[in-house]
């Protein structure tokens, strides 16, 4: 029974991990850039939520998600317009990787200097402890809400990309950056919106993860690695795959923690590495 509970909790955590991965997958799918600074932006949004929650102690901390999402969208837009667009068409595929890695180092150390290296978390009071009892299993309300929210966001993103004009423009830009210009689309501006959307999704994941577990300015690397593993495990291009990848990682992590309480992310990393060994071509195959 305890194992069933672990698996269910792993699946619920996986919804959150899926959210971490989806922003990274979106940027990679559209502009073939792995944004190494994604994890640092998530931590930054968590810090913003903590700051806002301290400013307005009477409001529910979850309400802070709304301004933080808006802020993250703006930050993403500016980040893409000011920095990433300058290398996105570089013939060398390594330039965006190196550039975003540089940005992640800057962000991490600015956060260390501004906010200090202490461990923080976002308190939501009763909600974080509330739980449901279904057939003898204890299921947390907060993780359940997170998974539902993740599923809704995935669905919404899918709908937007499939059925709206914005979605068509994004998909067209992802396919042929040079040809969409003929239809009057400016690829760089599309990229700005995509990066804004990516960081807004990352902000939701970052804030919800800050509710679940504590964080420091150094947590960005850990979050990036989870996000990346989610994307690779799920298979690129498939948003539902990312959700499945997240669930697999969440389960692996919680089973690992049951076996060894201070394993941290070790078992999630193991799952990722084993999958790379046994199914490399399937995992790396990307949509073109």
Partner 1 sequence: MPTRTILVASAILLVAAIAGAPLVLNEGFLRLATECLLLLTMAQMWNLLAGYAGLVSLGHQVFIAFGAYALFLTSGWLEVTPIWVLPVAPLVAGAVAAIIAFPLFRLRDAYFSIAMWVFAEIIGAFTMKSQAVGGTSGVPLATSRLIDFDWFEPTMFWLAGGLTLVTIAALYRMMTSSFGLGLMSVRDNDLAAMSVGVDVRLNRFVAFVLSAAGCGFAGALNFMGNLFIAPLAAFDVNWSVYMMFIVIIGGIGTLEGPILGVIIFFGLRELMTGPLGLSGGWYLVGLGIIAVVVMIVAPRGLWPALRDRIGVRLLDVHRAAPRPAAAAILPAASEQVTG
Phi-psi region of 203 (alpha: psi -120 to 50; beta: other; left: phi over 0): alpha
> Does 101 engage in binding with partner 1 (CB under 8 A)?
yes
- In the range 7-36, which residues lie near partner 1 by CB under 8 A? 34, 36
Q: In sequence order, what DSSP letters do the residues of 21-77 get, joined into one string?
A: HHHHHHHHHHH----TTHHHHHHHHHHHHHHHHHH-TTS-GGGGHHHHHHHHHHHHH
Q: Is 131 helix (H, G, I), strand (E, B) or coil?
A: strand
Considering only 54, 63, 186, 273, the residue that binds partner 1 (CB under 8 A) is: 273
> Does 78 engage in binding with partner 1 (CB under 8 A)?
no
Cα–Cα distance measured from residue 38 to residue 261, given in angstroms and rounded to the nearest whole number:
28
| CA dihedral over 142, 148, 154, 157, signed as positive or negative | negative
Q: How far is the CB of 262 from partner 1 (least distance, A)?
A: 8
> Does 93 engage in binding with partner 1 (CB under 8 A)?
yes
Cβ nearer to partner 1, comparing 34 with 210: 34
Going by C-beta distance under 8 Å and a sequence separation of 6 or more, which residues neighbour residue 236? Answer: 25, 28, 29, 285, 286, 287
> Does 52 engage in binding with partner 1 (CB under 8 A)?
no
> Does 144 engage in binding with partner 1 (CB under 8 A)?
no
Q: Is 262 helix (H, G, I), strand (E, B) or coil?
A: coil
CA–CA distances in Å: residue 112 to residues 115, 117, 163? 6, 5, 42
CA–CA distances in Å: residue 133 to residues 123, 136, 141, 144, 150? 23, 6, 10, 12, 22
Site string for partner 1, 210-239 (x = CB under 8 A): -----------x--xx--xx--x-------
Crossing angle of helices 266-278 and 239-259, in 10° steps, is 130
Considering only 90, 164, 213, 285, the residue that binds partner 1 (CB under 8 A) is: 90
Cβ nearer to partner 1, comparing 37 with 69: 37
> Does 70 engage in binding with partner 1 (CB under 8 A)?
no
Considering only 175, 280, 285, 287, the residue that binds partner 1 (CB under 8 A) is: 280
Site string for partner 1, 145-184 (x = CB under 8 A): ----------------------------------------
Give the residues lining the site for partner 1 (CB under 8 A): 34, 36, 83, 86-87, 90, 92-95, 97-99, 101-103, 105-106, 109-110, 112-113, 221, 224-225, 228-229, 232, 260, 262-266, 269-270, 272-273, 276-277, 280-281, 284
């Amino acid at each position: 029974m305890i194992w069933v509970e672990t698996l269910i909790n792993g699946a619920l955590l996986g919804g959150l991990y899926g959210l971490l991965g989806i922003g990274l997958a979106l940027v990679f799918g559209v502009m073939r850039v792995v944004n190494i600074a994604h994890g640092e932006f998530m931590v930054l949004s968590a810090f913003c939520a903590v700051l806002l929650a301290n400013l307005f102690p009477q409001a529910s901390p979850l309400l802070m998600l709304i301004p933080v999402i808006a802020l993250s969208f703006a930050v993403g837009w500016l980040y893409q317009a000011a920095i990433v667009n300058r290398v996105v068409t570089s013939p060398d595929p390594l330039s965006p990787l190196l550039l975003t890695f540089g940005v992640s180092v800057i962000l991490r150390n600015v956060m260390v200097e501004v906010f200090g290296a202490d461990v923080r978390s976002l308190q939501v009071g009763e909600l974080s402890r509330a739980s449901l009892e279904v057939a003898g299993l204890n299921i947390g309300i907060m993780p359940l809400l997170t998974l539902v929210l993740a599923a809704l966001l995935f669905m919404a993103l899918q709908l937007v990309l499939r059925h709206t004009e914005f979605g068509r423009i994004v998909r067209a830009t992802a396919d042929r950056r040079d040809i969409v210009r003929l239809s009057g689309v400016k690829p760089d501006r599309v990229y700005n919106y995509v990066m804004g959307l990516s960081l807004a999704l990352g902000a939701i994941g970052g804030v919800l993860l800050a509710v679940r577990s504590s964080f420091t300015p150094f947590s960005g690397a850990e979050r990036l690695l989870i996000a990346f593993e989610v994307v690779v495990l799920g298979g690129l291009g498939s948003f539902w795959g990312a959700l499945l990848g997240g669930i697999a990682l969440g389960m692996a992590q919680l089973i690992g923690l049951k076996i060894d309480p201070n394993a941290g992310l070790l078992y999630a990393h193991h799952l990722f590495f084993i999958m790379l060994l046994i199914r490399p071509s399937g995992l790396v195959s990307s949509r073109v």
